[in-house]
C-alpha cells in the first residue's frame, strides 16, 4: 500500500481507494532532522514499517507530464504488490532548480529517508547531491534518455533505474543463437544511445562474436537508405544486425535494411520498444525489461500493466524499486537511510520482474531478467527470458 502527497497538478487524477492523497506545491521552511540511522518506528497501518520516499517534481521541466505519470506508477505498483512494508511517496513541486535544497529539507521534515529522482535530467544532479548532503539515500527512480552522469562513490547513492546490463542480455542471446559475427548501426544523435551501442560491441566481443561492419549516423538528420548503402558489402556477411536508435529513426533504418534485401535477424536495445512497426516487419528482436503486450510470463508484471494506462516496459523498473525498498526495510528492520543502503548491497531482492542485486559500483543492477520480444508481422511477441548467468529460462 502506498500513501502520497501530490502536487496540485496531480489532484485531478483519481486516487485509488487504498491511497490517501494530499496536495502541496511549495517547500515548507523547516530544519532537517537526522535520518541516516533512523529506527523503524513509523506509524504505518497494521503495525507495518513505513518507508517514506520523497520525489521532487520540476513543473518547469519538459518531463513534467512524465514525472506525474511516474508518481502514479509508483502508487499503482505499491498498491498492487503484497508488501511486508508500507511505502509512502511524498512529493514536492518546484519550478526553479534553486528550490531543490529547500525541498529536500521539506521532505526530511516529513520523515523521508529515501529520495527517488524524477525523469528530469536537469534536476537529477542537484537532487542527488542535496539528498546525500542531508544524509538521505538517493536512488534513481526513472528510466530516461538522456540522463546526466550520476556515478559517484557515496554509499548513499544507488542507481536502481539504470539498465546498464542490457547490452550483456543482447550478447548472451546472440551467443545462444550461435552468431559468429554481427554488424552494428548506431545513431549518434544522443550520447546515451551511442554509448549503449558501444557497450553492445564490447559485450559481443566478450562472447567471441566478431564485428562484421559498423556505421554511425545522426538520427533524424542522415538518410537511413544512404547509411545502409555505405556498408552494404560487409553487411551481407553479417549473421545478425544491431540497430541502436530511438524511434522513429530506428524504424527508418530497419525499413531501409529490409528494402535493400538484408534479411538477417535485427537486434534492438530496450529503448527500441517505443517503435511502432509496420505490419510487414518481422525478425526484429527487442531486449526489454518486460512485455507490455499482454503476454509477459510473470503474472505480477501483467497485473501491474493491467492497471497502468498505456503501459511502458520500463514501468516495471519503478515497480521493482518499490519492491526493493520494501524488502530491504523488512530485512533490516529499519527505514534509516544508511541501513537501507547497506542492506540493498547485501540482499538479493525478489521484485516484480524477477530478482535483483547491486554490484560493487553502486550503480548497476544485476540479475535482471530481460524479455526477448520478437516482432512478427508488426506485432512484438514475448519469446523467452534472458538471465544474468546466460541461461534462458521460461516459467512454467
Backbone angles phi, psi at 7, to 5 degrees: -65, 160
pLDDT band of 388, cuts 50, 70, 90: confident
List pLDDT tens digits, range 329-341: 999 999 999 999 9
Which of the two residues, 136 and 37, has the higher pLDDT score?
136
Mean of the pLDDT values across residues 56-60?
96
Share of the chain above pLDDT 90, in %: 72
pLDDT at 153: 80
Inter-residue contact 293 to 380 (CB < 8 Å): yes
Average pLDDT, the chain: 86
- Please give the radius of gyration of the chain, using alpha carbons only, rounded to the nearest integer: 22
Low-confidence winner among 79-83, 326-330, 349-353 (lowest mean pLDDT): 79-83
List pLDDT tens digits, range 136-190: 999 999 999 988 888 678 999 999 998 988 999 999 999 999 999 999 999 999 9
List pLDDT tens digits, range 106-122: 999 999 999 999 999 99
Inter-residue contact 87 to 53 (CB < 8 Å): yes
pLDDT at 357: 82
List, as own/partner pairs, every contact residues 328-333 make where C-beta atoms lie below 8 angstroms and the sequence separation is at least 24, other chains included: 329/40, 329/49, 329/51, 329/85, 330/49, 330/84, 330/85, 332/40, 333/40, 333/49
Per-residue 3-state assignment (H helix, E strand, C coil) for 96-120: CHHHHHHHHHHHHHCCCCEEECCCC
Burial (CB < 10 A; 0-12, 13-18, 19+), residue 367, is: middle
C-alpha angle 143-144-147 in degrees, rounded to nearest 5: 120
- Strand partners for 214: 184
pLDDT band of 390, cuts 50, 70, 90: low
Share of the chain above pLDDT 70, in %: 84
Among the listed residues 345, 284, 335, 311, the one whose alpha carbon sits nearest the alpha carbon of residue 160: 345
pLDDT at 348: 86
Taking the C-alpha atoms of residue 282 and residue 384, their distance in angstroms, rounded to an integer, is 17
Which of the two residues, 314 and 31, has the higher pLDDT score?
314
Q: List C-alpha distances in Å: 364 to 89, 139, 151, 166, 368.
A: 24, 11, 10, 10, 10
Residue 210 C-alpha cell reads as: 566478431
Low-confidence winner among 32-41, 93-102, 213-222, 381-390 (lowest mean pLDDT): 32-41
Taking the C-alpha atoms of residue 180 and residue 190, their distance in angstroms, rounded to an integer, is 29
List pLDDT tens digits, range 192-218: 999 999 999 999 999 999 999 999 999
Which of the two residues, 119 and 20, has the higher pLDDT score?
119
Q: How far is CA 246 from the centre of its chain?
A: 16
Amino acid at each position: 500500500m502506498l500513501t502520497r502527497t501530490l502536487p496540485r497538478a496531480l489532484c485531478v487524477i483519481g486516487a485509488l481507494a487504498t491511497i490517501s492523497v494530499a496536495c502541496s506545491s511549495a517547500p515548507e521552511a523547516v530544519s532537517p532532522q537526522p535520518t541516516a540511522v533512523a529506527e523503524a518506528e513509523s506509524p504505518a497501518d497494521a503495525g507495518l514499517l513505513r518507508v517514506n520516499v520523497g520525489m521532487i517534481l520540476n513543473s518547469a521541466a519538459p518531463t513534467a507530464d512524465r514525472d506525474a505519470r511516474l508518481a502514479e506508477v509508483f502508487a499503482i505498483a505499491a498498491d498492487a504488490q503484497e508488501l511486508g512494508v508500507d511505502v509512502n511517496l511524498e512529493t514536492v513541486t518546484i519550478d526553479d532548480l534553486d528550490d531543490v535544497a529547500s525541498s529536500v529539507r521539506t521532505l526530511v521534515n516529513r520523515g523521508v529517508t529515501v529520495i527517488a529522482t524524477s525523469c528530469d535530467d536537469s534536476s537529477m544532479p542537484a537532487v542527488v547531491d542535496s539528498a546525500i548532503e542531508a544524509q538521505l539515500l538517493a536512488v534513481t527512480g526513472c528510466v530516461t534518455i538522456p540522463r546526466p552522469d550520476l556515478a559517484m562513490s557515496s554509499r548513499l547513492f544507488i542507481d536502481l533505474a539504470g539498465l546498464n546490463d542490457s547490452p550483456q542480455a543482447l550478447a548472451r542471446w546472440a551467443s545462444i543463437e550461435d552468431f559468429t559475427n554481427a554488424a552494428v548501426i548506431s545513431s549518434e544523435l544522443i550520447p546515451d544511445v551511442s554509448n549503449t551501442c558501444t557497450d553492445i560491441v564490447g559485450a559481443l566481443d566478450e562472447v567471441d562474436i566478431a564485428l562484421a561492419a559498423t556505421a554511425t549516423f545522426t538520427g533524424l538528420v542522415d538518410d537511413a537508405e544512404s547509411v545502409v548503402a555505405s556498408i552494404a558489402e560487409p553487411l551481407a556477411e553479417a549473421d545478425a544486425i544491431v540497430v541502436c536508435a530511438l524511434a522513429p529513426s530506428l524504424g527508418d533504418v530497419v525499413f531501409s535494411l529490409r528494402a535493400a534485401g538484408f534479411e538477417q535477424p535485427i537486434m534492438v536495445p530496450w529503448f527500441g520498444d517505443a517503435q511502432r512497426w509496420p505490419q510487414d516487419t518481422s525478425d526484429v528482436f527487442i531486449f526489454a525489461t518486460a512485455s507490455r503486450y499482454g503476454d509477459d510470463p510473470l503474472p505480477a508484471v501483467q497485473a501491474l500493466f493491467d492497471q497502468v494506462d498505456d503501459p511502458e516496459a520500463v514501468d516495471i523498473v519503478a515497480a521493482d524499486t518499490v519492491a526493493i525498498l520494501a524488502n530491504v526495510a523488512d530485512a533490516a528492520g529499519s527505514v534509516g537511510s544508511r541501513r537501507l543502503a547497506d542492506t540493498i548491497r547485501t540482499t538479493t531482492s525478489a521484485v516484480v520482474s524477477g530478482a535483483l542485486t547491486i554490484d560493487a559500483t553502486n550503480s548497476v543492477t544485476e540479475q535482471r531478467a530481460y524479455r526477448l520480444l520478437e516482432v512478427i508481422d508488426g506485432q512484438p511477441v514475448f519469446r523467452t527470458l534472458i538471465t544474468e548467468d546466460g541461461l534462458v529460462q521460461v516459467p512454467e
